[in-house]
Amino acid sequence: MDGTVDSAVPPARVAAAAPGELAVRPGEDPWTPQEVDEARSGLLSEAGRLRAEIVASEDAIAGLMRDSGDGAGDDEADTGSKNITREHEMALASNAREMLQQTERALGRLDAGTYGLCENCGNPIGKARMQAFPRATLCVECKQRQERRV
């Protein structure tokens, strides 16, 4: 073994569910094929939207960078405004890239059969939570612990 760890497969996954079944919490109905398809199509749609948002932000940044070179007649307020706009676009692009990475990771977990398992404790996250927040990687308990530490 080369020592690398597949982050899409938490350690507790080994025998959590039969092949093709996604984990659910006790008392929850199992995922239906239609619900899995809805989750997948929602994630794919979100990934497409984020890619388009990244392209638009990068185009805007490129335009702002081009315009910043010809600011010979700009006063300090104009220069400051352009800088703020450029930084705002850069922050939007960075956020969209991070969300895209999370979305692609969720798709990978869906393909691996580990979608809905907490990456920290390996327990089921909960079907309702996954449907409300499809990129979730932690169960409510682990997420609360994480937020208390921050």
| pLDDT tens series, the chain, 150 aa | 444 444 544 444 433 445 458 889 999 999 999 999 999 999 999 999 999 999 999 888 888 777 666 555 667 777 778 788 888 889 999 999 999 999 999 999 999 999 999 999 999 999 999 999 999 999 999 999 999 987
Residues 6+ apart with CB under 8 A from 94: none
Q: Is 63 helix (H, G, I), strand (E, B) or coil?
A: helix
Cα-based distances in Å from 34 to 39, 93, 102, 131, 146 = 9, 33, 22, 12, 32
Whole-angstrom distance, CA of residue 18 vs CA of residue 9? 15
- Quote the pLDDT of residue 3: 46
